[in-house]
Amino acid sequence: MADETELESGSARSQNEIAREGIRVAIVEDNNLFREMLVATINATPGMTLVASCATAQAARTQILPGSAHIVLMDISLPDGNGIALGLSLQRRDSKLRVLLLSAHNAMELLLDLPQGMQGKWSYLSKNSCVSVTMLLAAIRRTTAGRQVLDPGLVDKARPRVGTSVAALSARRYEVLRLLAQGLSNAGIAERLGIADKSVQNHVNSIYTELGIDPDPNENPRVIATLRMLEETGTIAGE
């Protein structure tokens, strides 16, 4: 749980705000059964509050007001619009809003098409490989904490493309990068791999160096590393 609630420095919401108010969640999903399942999950989860449940883009624009939600669980295909365009329009009204895409299309690369500077505020889960409530809630908490989350099942299937900087990473550093891309904090990665926090930080710093990610106070290097992995990997046919 500490991994899920540990906020990134400079993240969208302050830790005090989340601790005081809990996570305010809005849902935009046109499939009635899936939407009702999401509603039931959020309502049953301590520390989360449902602020809107919408089946259309029009309803979302009306119900999801600036400052009302910390995160939107967003379907991509809506009967009256596109979830990505809707999410961007909501973020133009509320720059702190985070979006967790829930899609049946297994298309994480859609995040690469988002405007620069907005990509880090979006996460992605596939409806086909998100197999547990635990995975969904972890993604919500990590995304709200200021981290980008890529679908763990799809990340596990990803393989570096030959000749890329990601392919040049050692096996251990690629393993660390995979977990970083799933939104785990350094402490969470250390626990998962059974190594010291300092060892994880050393690996993360080396990953930044090997991927050519320069320190920039205006950019989150974890997001840049995650997007680089997304850009330089693919899945093996048949997986």
Does residue 15 carry a pLDDT above 80? no
The mean per-residue pLDDT over the stretch 199-227 comes to 92
- pLDDT of 207 over the 60 cut: yes
Q: Quickly count helices (H) and strands (E) in the chain.
A: 11, 9
Q: What is the Cα–Cα distance from 122 to 158, expressed in whole angstroms?
A: 19
Domain shared by 36 and 97, yes or no: yes
Closest CA relative to residue 38, chosen from 143, 128, 140, 120: 140
Dist CA 192 CA 148 (whole Å): 18
Q: Which of 91, 123, 149 is the last residue of a domain?
A: 149
Confidence bin at 3 (pLDDT 50/70/90): low
Convert the pLDDT of each residue in 155-181 to its tens digit.
999 999 999 999 999 999 999 999 999
Please report the pLDDT score of residue 128 as a whole number. Answer: 86
Asked if 8 and 112 sit in the same domain, the reply is yes
Claim to verify: residue 123 and residue 162 sit in the same structural domain:
no
Other Cβ atoms closer than 10 A to 124: 27
Q: List pLDDT tens digits, range 28-61.
A: 999 999 999 999 999 999 999 999 999 999 999 9
Residue 6 binned pLDDT confidence (cut-offs 50, 70, 90): low
Q: 3-state DSSP call for residue 84?
A: helix
What pLDDT score was predicted for residue 218? 77
- Indicate if the pLDDT at residue 222 is higher than 80: yes
pLDDT surpasses 70 at 153: yes
Residues 136, 159 within the same domain: no
State whether 110 and 191 are in the same domain: no
CATH number at residue 171: 1.10.10.10
Ranges of H-type helices in the chain: 2-5, 15-21, 32-43, 57-63, 83-93, 133-144, 152-157, 171-181, 186-193, 197-210, 221-231
Q: How many residues does the chain have?
A: 239
Q: What is the CATH number of the domain that holds 140?
A: 3.40.50.2300
103 and 132 within one domain: yes
pLDDT at 152 over 80: yes
Domain range for 6 is 2-149
Tokens linked to 65? 């007001």
DSSP helix/strand/coil, 22: coil
Query: Phi, psi at residue 170, to the nearest 5°?
Result: -65, 165
How high is the pLDDT of residue 108? 86
Phi–psi pair at 24, nearest 5 degrees:
-90, 120
User: What does the pLDDT look like over 71-96, one tens digit per residue?
Assistant: 999 999 999 999 999 999 999 999 99
Clarify whether residues 96 and 198 are in a common domain.
no
- How far is Cα 166 from Cα 207, in angstroms, rounded to an integer? 9
Q: Is 164 exposed, middle or buried (0-12, 13-18, 19+ CB in 10 A)?
A: middle
Q: What integer pLDDT is reported at residue 202 of this predicted model? A: 97
Tell me, yes or no, whether 33 and 144 share the same domain: yes
Q: Counting beta carbons within 10 angstroms of the beta carbon of residue 175, is it exposed (0 to 12), middle (13 to 18) or buried (19 or more)?
A: middle
pLDDT (0 to 100) of residue 109: 87
Residues 123 and 140 both lie in one domain: yes
pLDDT in tens, 107-143: 788 899 999 889 999 999 998 888 799 999 999 999 9
Boundary of a domain, candidates 93, 118, 149: 149
Q: Are residues 202 and 139 in the same domain?
A: no
pLDDT at 2 over 70: no
| Count of domains for the chain | 2
Name the pTM for this structure.
Answer: 0.88
Using the 3D structure, point to which of 98, 132, 149 is the last residue of a domain: 149
Ramachandran bin of 10, using left for φ above 0, alpha for ψ from -120 to 50, beta for the remaining angles: left
